[in-house]
Amino acid sequence: MAGKDRILVLGPTGAIGRHIVWASVKAGNPTYVLVRDTPPTVNKPRLVTAANPETREELLQNFQNSGVFLIQGDMNDHQSLVNAIKQVDVVICSFGRLLIEDQVKIIAAIKEAGNIKRFFPSEFGLDVDRQDAVEPVREVFEEKAKIRRIIEAEGVPYTYLCCHAFTGYFLRNLAQIDTTVPPRDKIFIQGDGNVKGAYVTEADVGTYTVEAVNDPNTLNKAVHIRLPANYLSLNEIVSLWEKKIGKSIEKIYVPEEEVLKNIQELSFPNNYLLALYHSQQIRGDAVYEIDPTKDVEASQAYPHVKYTTVDEYLNQFL
């Protein structure tokens, strides 16, 4: 029996990359990460820090202690990227929004290396081919869609991972701007609160991503993570939270026109986060039908995975 595919993670210390690395190690896939000598300085929302408190240095040391292969290289150094890619079977990119377009460099390196079975571009959000987002999110979604088209045109084998709303961004604060814990007295709900959203922990995104790596049925398809217990409206989540804390919360519903005005007036990262909330919670960009010819629903494909439910996730804040 052949061994499991070797996985290279690009962006391994980011909010999602770190969880893909750990899931790969746990699954027994030989795991490689590309490490720059000098990490870039990026303005990260406080939510990211709250959800991922480990520093880059701590992570890399923990990776190394767990048998992860650290490869020195840089996305902007074509030859070092090609050399890294030649050592593996699958490339997973988890770059942040500022580096989406730079994935053309990865595609070029994959083409030159000629050995990659699958490329997972930096998606890990709403399905960019099924969205009606506003700026500043729309531009990022369009960049991701552009990368999809380049991958397909170049004939690079791929899997797109659509996981919708990270709990670390959307759930730990019940979609409240500029806070890191669920409110206990008053909550602002964007829209009417009845639109279904899909929530998943970053660790579970890592698990499902590696499941998809090891599943030949996901080749040249999109994998959608919409877990039954976590496919909920914000009203349903607030009701669940109220039961946990044993009290009712004052609910202030914000009409879409006001949400759009707030997005225009706020600065980063709050305008970006609010636009993401608007996309999922008002426009309903997580509500769509699966096309089995090009889509895979993760909960159906991998029923053995024990994921963290919204109910379980909220218990940490009691």
Give the per-residue SS3 of 90-151. EEEECCCHHHCCCHHHHHHHHHHHCCCCEEECCCCCCCCCCCCCCCCHHHHHHHHHHHHHHH
Taking Cα atoms as reference points, which of 57, 55, 69, 61 lies closest to residue 25?
69
Token pair, residue 104, equals 């053309």
The catalytic residue among 26, 86, 117, 144 is: 144
Based on the residue annotation, tell me whether 144 is a catalytic residue of this protein.
yes
In angstroms, the CA 227 to CA 105 distance is 33
DSSP label of 158:
B
176: Cβ contacts below 8 Å, ≥ 6 apart: 182, 183, 187, 188
Burial code of 256-277, b = ≥16 C-beta within 10 A, e = fewer?
eeebeebbeebeebebbbbbbb
Q: Are 216 and 32 in contact (CB under 8 A)?
A: no
d(CA 275, CA 254): 14
**Token pair of 131 as six digits:** 């969205």
| Interatomic CA distance for residues 250 and 247, integer angstroms | 10
Query: Which distant-in-sequence residues (6+ apart) come within 8 Å of 165 by Cβ?
Result: 171, 197, 198, 199, 200, 276, 280, 286
Q: How would you classify the pairing of strands 196-200 and 231-233?
A: antiparallel
Residues acting as catalytic residues: 144
